[in-house]
Amino acid sequence: MKKHTVVFEPAGARCEINDGATLLEAAARAGAGLDSICGGSGICGKCRVVVQDGMQSLSAPSDAEKKFIGPEDTPVRLACECRIYGDATVRVPPADTLSRKYARKVSISLDPAVKKYSIKIDPPSMQDMGKGDRERLVEALRAQHGLSGLSLDYSVLKGLQDTLRKGRWDVTASVWMGREIIRLEPSVPGAAYGLAVDIGTTTVAAYLCDLGSGNVLETFSATNPQAAHGEDVMSRITFAITSPDGLSVMQGEIRDCINGIIKETGLTPGDILDMTVVCNTVMHHIFLGIDPSGIGAAPFVHAVSRPLDVKARELGININESSYIHVLPAASGFVGADSAGVLLALRPYSRDEKVLIIDVGTNGEILLGDRDGVYSASCATGPAFEGERIKFGMRAAAGAIERVWIDPDTEEPSLEIIGNTRARGICGSGIIDAVAGLFRAGIIDKTGRLRLEPPRTRLEPPRAEDLPHTERLRMDAEGRPEFVLAWKEQTDTGSDITVTQADIRAVQLAKAALYAGTKLLMRRMGMERVNRIILAGAFGSYINKESALAVGMLPECAPENISAAGNAAGEGAVLALLNIGKREEAQRETAKLMHLEVSTDPGFQDEFLAAMDIPHR
Amino acid sequence: MKKHTVVFEPAGARCEINDGATLLEAAARAGAGLDSICGGSGICGKCRVVVQDGMQSLSAPSDAEKKFIGPEDTPVRLACECRIYGDATVRVPPADTLSRKYARKVSISLDPAVKKYSIKIDPPSMQDMGKGDRERLVEALRAQHGLSGLSLDYSVLKGLQDTLRKGRWDVTASVWMGREIIRLEPSVPGAAYGLAVDIGTTTVAAYLCDLGSGNVLETFSATNPQAAHGEDVMSRITFAITSPDGLSVMQGEIRDCINGIIKETGLTPGDILDMTVVCNTVMHHIFLGIDPSGIGAAPFVHAVSRPLDVKARELGININESSYIHVLPAASGFVGADSAGVLLALRPYSRDEKVLIIDVGTNGEILLGDRDGVYSASCATGPAFEGERIKFGMRAAAGAIERVWIDPDTEEPSLEIIGNTRARGICGSGIIDAVAGLFRAGIIDKTGRLRLEPPRTRLEPPRAEDLPHTERLRMDAEGRPEFVLAWKEQTDTGSDITVTQADIRAVQLAKAALYAGTKLLMRRMGMERVNRIILAGAFGSYINKESALAVGMLPECAPENISAAGNAAGEGAVLALLNIGKREEAQRETAKLMHLEVSTDPGFQDEFLAAMDIPHR
């Protein structure tokens, strides 16, 4: 059989593969660590590669591919669909730093903040000397489009004369909120893009939208570079307080990160005319360069509740410099603009049935209510659910163990790994599965103790070597118990991947915080039980509901009434980008939100301790 | 008699002087070129020096001095009043670049754009978490001062939390136009200053005002550094067109110049809360970074007629960064914001009698009218009236010959020199006097020809040496006629100071442009004669009315009805700074202004040629 050589850049991994094999098969053979969620069925779009050389050696794009790869002539291909009939070199996009997937239609009537107007202007004459070019432009917009009282951004004014002449008095004005001209282009206008950005404590997601069609064109994600200063919001506050220029360092980092995404879009920055931002209140303050320290201690004061519109150039964000960046309202120090985004996307305030919405990031944001009123609470879950502070934890990227079953009889685990490659670590949904599986198999007890750890209550604990252990349940080099999920032969790292006692404690702390917060909110509303749970956030989309119920992360609820909403905060940012009515709605509804501050609630400690047990006491 | 050594920095000039002599006497002896208008009588304040060493060697400040030198402990002294009783070193302020004079009361009801409000804010509590600090501040301003709908500048927002805590919830907000909070200070507020700036083509003048009292505290002037690129507005336009980055270079120069003046005030930049700007339309565009090339050629289009409010930080002007800089309206490419300032100061539109207002700078701005309507015109006089393009021309600074009489019988000139020092050159008023005197004495004829120059009309001109000449009326080294105003023994430069034939031609061109423009305007209004003339601008203040009439610079008018208004444009900027009603008035009245474009008027050439004669044909 004919063989071909495929090279995967930038790693330079290569392999020989049979004629007609797919690029995904070649990637697995070469160990190129290519990402695939759907297991090669052409539906997730995660295995995109860019063909650098040998385009003619590859199959024509399939129908499945065409949904993801954009224009006909793009070198982008889906590796799982693309078959190899000759030598080729492809580039694997950086999965851990920036990934993207294509086009999604959001169902909302389009009414963006920035609209474009074509106008013809009378050229100036000696009879007309009392009018400046600005006055001629503003009058034409009134006469031809009925827009009155328009102002001109200073930067647009600077280029005004040049643009009018280049366009031969035939120009396109981009008008913000019917009030201000924020861009002027000669003659035929280019496309109008908007970017909806969700600044997470750990991950930044951005949605590139076409303001003309309302389509989400691409999704980008990147690691928040501030993570270097600590995983959770408190550590960022601490860095801002204790480090000279800590605040401006972090503001610069998130600015550069967003500008990196903008660069990645490949668009002319000036064509991005609008941007919306959702994030928690600490990220909000840092993004705006506002001291977040007030949020860190009672009475937890934040700087501003209202939504803000700040010029892109003031924030150093490289979209059209005269454009405004709309930051959704941060109702309080705890209820951030990300909650405003979740509210917009899931609209609990228009539901007849009470719904519990849990957005699990580094912070757990909880919303509970219906059309009679919505309560919010926030709890510090820590980064365990995002795969951080877990010995072999990693983000949900290629090589992450995302599903775990442990056979209660044999105590043998079965694993599902993102990208169908060798395991590199465990992501958040994997660690929840693992803890649930360990509990079901009796390897840990309800206090979360691995069987190998002597119970704390006995006066004379047995020596560890006397405790029941298996090959997988063992002591590590430092005498601490751990459970082996994957032997080194199965991994990409050359070492065993284990779940440690500390990992289990981290999961218990995180789920207890979330459960206790939820319970307090339910009690405040006089509820014994919730009938509907929506899990928001990337983590919520991948979590195994049964495992989440088994470890006691969620209150009791029929699994069929638990659903995942994906990144609802980001979707809210998209909605606010595409429809300015949604901006008002966000302001109105966040102002009505009632907040329960769980950390200072007298009942919290008891709830929290009770919730440490598995599933809970 | 006891002798003391006095050193004058930065030149390092020094002298030995008798005990009890004044610093001004010492400066004259040392040749330190110290500026004095009043001739040492303690009233002009121009001879200020800064004592660097030997304060104890000097007399206590006199009452006359105290009016000028500010606080008791300042090292600033008036050289004419300060007596020497020991060795001392003093610094002479750079007279040609930055000079200042003290306090003047402007009679206008005070209603500045920026007002300060003291407020007490309830500290945040856990019961109050839905309100950000911004909302608490805005509500307090509404409750305590009835201000509603306030917005917050982004930069103020950034420092908000810090300021509220430093002030212990007792703060002072500076509010712009009742709309926007542009500064927040903890507790007791500092003073509120404003700066009114007149950007001339050659000279920048600035008036530092106390927004609390309405007093003009100090006046500053500096050379416009753009002068290096040419003397008149056309040369600046040329530089902007032909030089890469020419526009941004010039914008940077005027920005740095104004920032230099701000530094010179010695104030904390943040205490300067407002600024108004007047200037001609080319300076206006360059200051704002707008391409001025449209103004340079028909149809002479400028970018914007409306007044503008641009954030100081956008322009890089170092006042309070959130403040707005108000640029008065530029009615057309020719009628600049400087005319708006003159209008505000002299209000022709509220007069019953028609008044002719002439603002002579590098450009001559002419206004003519009364309450029934005001016409404007502009003419390129060139820089001769400012002492430029004159062989021994100089600005009106120490050493400039500012008054000239020539005895018709003896043809001997008498001179008056600024600062009572040796002559260094001739300023604008001096050269007008000189031309008028030469004409009266018959040394030049009505065509402006020096007696030594052969008339152009003769077929066979006489040889120059045959023409009547005197010791003062002579040929220069290159055989060109000139008249000696000051022998080198009388000068500070070591050479004779003369008026050349070219100088006389330059004056003729300038005065002819002005006269022709005035005549055209008068004709447009059906006027044969004007009964009242006001000369605006620094030059207008020093000009000898009789000389101006004698050379035919002004239309016929009784000398007692000709008055000088000083820098009326700058005064208008001060008025707009102190009273926002004046900003509206400026916009309203400049919009009503009728403009006559003289350079393209078919009658201009004839008028201009007729006006070349002395006084005119």
Domains of chain A by start residue, with CATH: 3-93 (3.10.20.30), 114-186 (3.10.20.880), 193-327 (3.30.420.480), 346-382+514-611 (3.30.420), 384-454+472-507 (no CATH)
Q: Given this model, what pLDDT does residue B75 score?
A: 79
Test the B interface: residue of A162, A281, A290, A596 with most B CBs within 10 Å: A290
At residue A259 the predicted structure's pLDDT band, cuts being 50, 70 and 90, is: very high
Contact A303 B133 (CB under 8 A): yes
Q: Which residue has the tokens 């603009």?
A: A337
Of B124, B134, B161, the CB nearest to A306: B134
Of B129, B157, B158, the CB nearest to A595: B129
Q: Given this model, what pLDDT does residue B351 score?
A: 96
* 3-state DSSP helix/strand/coil % of chain B, to nearest 5: 35, 25, 40
pLDDT tens by residue, A557-615: 999 999 988 889 999 999 999 999 999 999 999 999 988 888 778 888 999 999 999 98
pLDDT tens by residue, A54-89: 888 898 888 878 777 666 666 788 888 899 999 888
Shortest alpha-carbon distance between residue B471 and chain A (Å): 53
With a cut of 0.90, is the ipTM above it?
no
Test the A interface: residue of B126, B151, B154 with most A CBs within 10 Å: B154
B154 touches chain A (CB under 8 A): yes
DSSP 8-state secondary structure symbol assigned to residue B526: T
How far CA B176 is from CA of A437, B78, B153, B180, in Å, comes to: 64, 39, 10, 5
DSSP 8-state secondary structure symbol assigned to residue B58: B
Of A133, A293, A597, the CB nearest to B129: A597
Contact A161 B124 (CB under 8 A): no
B206 touches chain A (CB under 8 A): no
A613 touches chain B (CB under 8 A): no
Structure tokens at A213: 């069609």
Q: Given this model, what pLDDT does residue A384 score?
A: 77
pLDDT tens by residue, A171-209: 999 999 999 999 999 976 678 999 999 999 888 999 999
B487 touches chain A (CB under 8 A): no
Q: Given this model, what pLDDT does residue B96 score?
A: 34
Of B125, B289, B304, the CB nearest to A299: B125
How far CA A222 is from CA of A84, A95, A372, B22, B228, in Å, comes to: 31, 9, 38, 74, 51
Q: Given this model, what pLDDT does residue A312 score?
A: 97
Contact B595 A331 (CB under 8 A): no
Q: Do the beta carbons of residue A468 and residue A483 sit within 8 Å?
A: no
Dist. CA A51–CA A59, nearest whole Å: 12
Dist. CA B81–CA B64, nearest whole Å: 8
Contact A131 B597 (CB under 8 A): no
Closest to B424 measured CA to CA, from B96, B9, B101: B96
Contacts of B308 in chain A (CB under 8 A): 154, 157
Contacts of B600 in chain A (CB under 8 A): 126
Q: Do the beta carbons of residue A160 and residue A152 sit within 8 Å?
A: yes
CB atoms within 10 A of CB A159: 17
Q: Given this model, what pLDDT does residue B460 score?
A: 63
How far CA A220 is from CA of A394, A428, A496, B96, in Å, comes to: 19, 20, 32, 60
Closest to A549 measured CA to CA, from A395, A440, A418, A392: A440
B66 touches chain A (CB under 8 A): no
Structure tokens at B299: 């149809």
Contacts of B306 in chain A (CB under 8 A): 132, 134-135
At residue A360 the predicted structure's pLDDT band, cuts being 50, 70 and 90, is: confident
Test the B interface: residue of A127, A305, A325, A595 with most B CBs within 10 Å: A305
Nearest CA in chain A to B164: A303
B162 touches chain A (CB under 8 A): yes
Please name the residues between 557 and 596 in chain B that touch chain A, using a CB distance below 8 Å.
591, 593, 595
Of B298, B305, B330, the CB nearest to A126: B298
Shortest alpha-carbon distance between residue B588 and chain A (Å): 13
Dist. CA B400–CA B429, nearest whole Å: 10
Contact B301 A333 (CB under 8 A): no
Q: Where are the alpha helices (DSSP H) in A147-204?
A: 154-166
- Indicate the Cα dihedral angle B447, B452, B454, B455, nearest 10°: 20
- The count of C-alpha atoms lying within 13 angstroms of the C-alpha of B164, restricted to the half-sphere facing its C-beta, is 25
Of B134, B310, B332, the CB nearest to A129: B332
Contact B330 A125 (CB under 8 A): no
Q: Which distant-in-sequence residues (6+ apart) come within 8 Å of A165 by Cβ?
A: none
More confident residue, A129 or A25: A25
Q: Given this model, what pLDDT does residue B91 score?
A: 80
Closest to A502 measured CA to CA, from A382, A365, A362: A382
Contact A333 B300 (CB under 8 A): no
Shortest alpha-carbon distance between residue B553 and chain A (Å): 28
Q: Given this model, what pLDDT does residue B9 score?
A: 73
Q: Do the beta carbons of residue B67 and residue B44 sit within 8 Å?
A: no
CA of residue A256 relative to chain centroid, distance: 17
At residue A154 the predicted structure's pLDDT band, cuts being 50, 70 and 90, is: very high
Contacts of B161 in chain A (CB under 8 A): 290-291, 293-294, 301, 303
DSSP 8-state secondary structure symbol assigned to residue A482: E
Q: Given this model, what pLDDT does residue B571 score?
A: 93
Shortest alpha-carbon distance between residue B276 and chain A (Å): 17
Shortest alpha-carbon distance between residue B362 and chain A (Å): 22
B445 touches chain A (CB under 8 A): no
How many interface pairs between A and B have CB atoms less than 8 angstroms apart? 137
Quote the strand ranges of A236-316, DSSP E.
272-279, 308-311
Of A129, A154, A300, the CB nearest to B314: A154
Q: Residue A101 pLDDT > 60, yes or no?
A: no
| Edge-to-edge strand list for the sheet holding A473-475 | A473-475, A481-486, A497-500
Q: Given this model, what pLDDT does residue B155 score?
A: 94
A177 touches chain B (CB under 8 A): no
Instruction: Write the Ramachandran bin of B94: left for phi over 0, alpha for psi from -120 to 50, otherwise beta.
Output: beta
Q: Which distant-in-sequence residues (6+ apart) come within 8 Å of A297 by Cβ?
A: none
A149 touches chain B (CB under 8 A): no
Shortest alpha-carbon distance between residue B255 and chain A (Å): 16
Closest to B484 measured CA to CA, from B471, B469, B494, B501: B471
Of A158, A299, A306, the CB nearest to B129: A299
Q: What percent of chain A has pLDDT over 70?
A: 91
Shortest alpha-carbon distance between residue B407 and chain A (Å): 49
DSSP letter string, B238-256: HHHHHSTTHHHHHHHHHHH
Q: Given this model, what pLDDT does residue A551 score?
A: 95
Please name the residues between 591 and 610 in chain B that touch chain A, using a CB distance below 8 Å.
591, 593, 595, 597, 600
Least confident among A281-285, A480-484, B426-430, B467-471: B467-471
Structure tokens at B34: 């110290």
Predicted TM-score (pTM) of the model is 0.77
CB atoms within 10 A of CB A166: 14
pLDDT tens by residue, A509-547: 999 999 999 999 999 989 999 999 999 887 777 889 999
Please name the residues between 268 and 297 in chain B that touch chain A, using a CB distance below 8 Å.
288-291, 293-294
E strand or H helix at A541: helix A537-542
B309 touches chain A (CB under 8 A): no
Q: Which residue has the tokens 């094999």?
A: A21
pLDDT tens by residue, B458-468: 566 566 666 66
Q: Residue A454 pLDDT > 80, yes or no?
A: no
DSSP 8-state secondary structure symbol assigned to residue B348: G
Please name the residues between 106 and 125 in chain A that touch chain B, using a CB distance below 8 Å.
124-125
- Say what angle helices B337-346 and B580-592 make with each other, to 10 degrees: 110
Contact A130 B301 (CB under 8 A): no
Q: Which positions of chain B have pLDDT values less than 70?
A: 10-11, 33, 35-39, 41, 43-46, 69-74, 93-106, 188-189, 453-469
Contact B129 A332 (CB under 8 A): yes
Dist. CA B395–CA A435, nearest whole Å: 87
